[in-house]
Amino acid sequence: MSAEEAETRHQFAVRANSILAFIECDEEQRPKLRKAIIEAMLWAQTQPKLTR
């Protein structure tokens, strides 16, 4: 993983933590949800932009 990819993951992890702050869930679930949120954000980056 490049430094740029690592930084992007870190930024997404920060955002994921913000999202998780609004979600009521068990502490055991948080790491799984954080990982899923990060993976979804990374996937979204690879998708073509929608145009009108």
State the pTM of this model.
0.72
pLDDT band at 22 (very low <50, low <70, confident <90, very high): confident
pLDDT at 39: 92
More confident residue, 49 or 6: 6
CA distance from start to end of the chain = 34
CA-to-CA dists, residue 8 to 20, 27, 36, angstroms: 18, 24, 15
Is the pLDDT score of 36 beyond 80?
A: yes
